[in-house]
Amino acid sequence: MVNLKVNLSGLELDNPIIPASGTFGYGYEFAEFYDINCLGTFSFKGTTREPRFGNPTPRIAECPAGMINSVGLQNPGVEKVISEELKKLKPCFNKKVIANVGGFSLDEYSETCAMLDKEEQVGLLEVNISCPNVHNGGMSFGTDPKMAAEVTRRVKEVTTKPVYIKLSPNVTDIVAIAKACEDAGADGISMINTLLGMRIDLRTKKPVIANKMGGFSGSAILPVALRMVYQVYENVNIPIIGMGGITTVSDVIEMMLAGATAVQVGAANLVNPFACKEIIEKLPEEMAKYGINNLSDIIGGAH
């Protein structure tokens, strides 16, 4: 009998498969398709202190082996997430969930995290300092080690649950930023968020997306994500949730060998709502194929 369990800073997961923030709503939407309790956990839609309508449309552009999105953290605000969204989730998900938090100032990050930290359903906070689709915030915090460290410190001051900082790949040295977050008290790292990309409409000769650029995700970015997880694993002593281009069960094994303790699946959910369920079902067979008994034993195995 193979063991799929992994541990994220004290939060034990039945398996390492986690739908990524922004691709799984607040969970209950997918519960109409299958029993989402089969998941390790999931990261809910990026939540900010105030409600956000998001960016103007069009927000999505297709491209080979991926997609570009510029949704802009559309969400109802943290108060409604707690009073409405988490209540709708409770009847269909009996595990702790990951709360993904976005922000535009240090105060906003700390206030939103403090509110979500008090929720019994929340097992871990994922602080997004890497969103490429918003102005005056988001990725600007994630491209400077000092700012990344300051966000980490401020959030850790007001929370008791594990804090994972979600990093941007749109930087020269992601290792320096990961180390700065670790030094500031981060319990773990989530990486990578989307790359920055764009498409141009040949008929109008203008960018497809109203915001001009957006986050590029999908299977095409897996090699970049693997490389960055591998580099960060060699330089920090905290767990990594690896993500970026994961679409198959073999991608999961590869990402864990690079150094990820758990894995988030993003764009694949938008193509196939059963993507995570199917990966989980195939994991035991894939483990047997490579002689793996305990999945946690392979973390960082490529080093």
- Residue 254 covered by a domain: yes
CA distances from 80 to 96, 178, 218, 224 (A): 19, 31, 30, 36
Catalytic residue among 38, 63, 131, 276: 131
- Residue 1 covered by a domain: no
| Strands 66-69 and 214-217, sheet pairing | antiparallel
Q: Kindly report the CA angle at 166 between 163 and 168, in degrees rounded to 5? A: 155
Name the residue among 31, 47, 49, 51 with its Cα closest to residue 39: 31
CA 287/CA 134 separation, integer angstroms: 40
Tokens 């067979």 belong to which residue? Answer: 285
Cis peptide before 82 (omega within 30 of 0): no
Name the residue among 24, 66, 16, 61 with its Cα closest to residue 43: 24
- Residue 197 covered by a domain: yes
Residues spanned by the domain of 121: 6-298
CA 271/CA 197 separation, integer angstroms: 19
- Residue 293 covered by a domain: yes
CA distances from 262 to 20, 25, 76 (A): 11, 20, 28
CA 102/CA 264 separation, integer angstroms: 18
Concerning whether 63 is annotated as a catalytic residue, the answer is no
Any residues with CB less than 8 A from the CB of 19 and at least 6 apart, and which?
A: 30, 39, 42, 43, 264, 265, 266, 269, 276
- Residue 231 covered by a domain: yes
- Residue 303 covered by a domain: no
Query: What CATH number did the domain enclosing 284 receive?
Result: 3.20.20.70
Task: Look at the chain and report how many structural domains it folds into.
Answer: 1
Judge residue 1's burial from the number of C-beta atoms within 10 Å of its C-beta, 0-12 exposed, 13-18 middle, 19 or more buried: exposed
- The H or E element that residue 95 is part of is none
- The H or E element that residue 227 is part of is helix 222-233
- 3-state SS string for 107-152: HHHHHHHHHHHCCCCEEEEEEECCCCCCCCCHHHHCCCHHHHHHHH
Name the residue among 303, 295, 298 with its Cα closest to residue 12: 295
136 neighbors 105 (Cβ within 8 angstroms)? no
Q: The tokens of 182 are what?
A: 């670790």
Q: What is the largest CA-CA distance in the chain?
A: 57
pLDDT tens digits, residue range 71-82?
Answer: 988 999 999 999
Name the residue among 110, 22, 112 with its Cα closest to residue 67: 22
Tokens 């997609």 belong to which residue? Answer: 67
pLDDT tens digits, residue range 222-262?
Answer: 999 999 999 999 999 999 999 999 999 999 999 999 999 99
Within the chain, which residues score under 70 in pLDDT? 131-140
Q: Is pTM, for the whole model, over 0.85?
A: yes
